[in-house]
Amino acid sequence: MFDVLVIGGGNAALCAALMAREAGASVLLLEAAPRAWRGGNSQHTRNLRCMHDAPQDVLVDAYPEEEYWQDLLRVTGGLTDEALARLVIRASASCRDWMRSHGVHFQPSLSGALHTARTNAFFMGGGKALVNAYYRSAERLGVVIRYESPVDALEIRDGRFVAARVGSERIEARSCVLAAGGFESNREWLRSAWGQNAQGDWPADNFLIRGTRFNQGVLLRVMEQAGADMVGDPSQSHCVAIDARAPLYDGGICTRVDCVSLGIMLNRDAERFYDEGEDFWPKRYAIWGRLVAQQPEQIGYSIIDAKAIGRFMPPVFPGCKADTLPELARMLGLDEARFVATVERYNAACQPGSFDHTVLDNCHTSGLTPPKSHWALPLDTPPFYGYALRPGITFTYLGLKTNANAAVHFQGQPSPNFFVAGEMMAGNVLGKGYVAGIGMAIGTAFGRIAGTCAARAAKEGI
């Protein structure tokens, strides 16, 4: 029998497996995906949000605990467990040396990448290189890894983990870490979580899934049915507006379109619906998926003019390009007259100011609903560009309630040998909203804690 069973094959699972193994436990890791697709959503990531009090290797200036916490508090609107959130924030200051010891390399933020040189440490080679490094290190240390092993049932007795099942196979272990992601890849569950809107649409039918197809939420359901304490609202998620041409799964980072704050966003009726310049893009990009999901037919259109070019990371796939506004409206399939009227109304409302996309500048609209608070320049310089965008789900927030030891809870009581990490518990910290790079910070902090605690529980025979 293995000491520790880790279920999942992404960042959180790998951090748990490595820590448990380093603590001397024998470890079996079960990954649902085949080897080529291992690594879950983690393989698509680019960076980790890190607290630091002074410049550190790839990070410039400082990003103190309090600022990190305030950023998180603002986006979650207070829907966060402060003790667990601060635990993640503090752990983010010290985890990079450990990550390096397992083969992860960092690089400075790319210029134009969401103004993150101060806050986020980028993985050299991206998340795929990170998970490959962790798998290599895990193999070298003797973690037993099995691919194409989706766990579909769990045996739990009196709040204790007993065994997991992969089809007809029963696998016992002294302790267990659940790190099998959210339910974002399960379209039926998304459909029921989002329900039907007043127009009779099922918004989730138009969602695209940015990451893995393997996070079906099977074990979240199993745990819910077993009476585990849950946290979070199933309709809350990290949800970005992405290129409408993206594939259903695994479109990854290259489907993102980062010019929303430099122009205006319209819905199917060629109407604006939210302040595009409310705050810096890294603090706002994750609200646009939800905003587009609330629009008719769940589609939005980001419109910019030639002045925006060079000020954002160009998307991999070119958008529609036209020399006149009516031509652009036609290309996007929008009502020409309404489109032109909306742009003209916006242009007329733009106040003179000094444009600076690196600060919250004084270019704003006046007398316009909704307003554009910053970076409001008239759309008057051809060529004009437009991108059709759909909600792209990154990960869901419904999860298992946990504590500082990453323990799964049943009726308020922490389990002695059952732990959770990553997306399966991110909802403790993220009730709603998002700040870039905190997904990996949560998975790394809690993956490491879960692995340590699972090894201890196994050793002590708890």
Binding residues for ligand FAD (CB under 6 A): 7-13, 30-33, 39-42, 44-48, 150-151, 179-181, 210-212, 214-215, 218-219, 252-253, 394-395, 422-423, 437-440, 443
Closest contact distance (angstroms) between CB of 44 and ligand FAD is 4
Alpha-carbon gap, residue 367 to 63, rounded angstroms: 36
Which among 412, 366, 446, 357 is positioned nearest to 95, based on CA atoms?
446
User: For ligand FAD, which is the closer residue by CB, 372 or 432?
Assistant: 432
Closest contact distance (angstroms) between CB of 397 and ligand FAD is 10
Closest contact distance (angstroms) between CB of 210 and ligand FAD is 4
User: For ligand FAD, which is the closer residue by CB, 41 or 452?
Assistant: 41
Closest contact distance (angstroms) between CB of 311 and ligand FAD is 21
User: For ligand FAD, which is the closer residue by CB, 48 or 264?
Assistant: 48
Closest contact distance (angstroms) between CB of 13 and ligand FAD is 5
Alpha-carbon gap, residue 246 to 299, rounded angstroms: 13
User: For ligand FAD, which is the closer residue by CB, 255 or 365?
Assistant: 255
User: For ligand FAD, which is the closer residue by CB, 23 or 50?
Assistant: 50
User: For ligand FAD, which is the closer residue by CB, 119 or 342?
Assistant: 119
Closest contact distance (angstroms) between CB of 198 and ligand FAD is 30
User: For ligand FAD, which is the closer residue by CB, 48 or 455?
Assistant: 48
Q: Is 24 exposed, middle or buried (0-12, 13-18, 19+ CB in 10 A)?
A: exposed
Closest contact distance (angstroms) between CB of 271 and ligand FAD is 29
Alpha-carbon gap, residue 442 to 446, rounded angstroms: 6
Query: At which residue do the structure tokens 């199933």 appear?
Result: 234
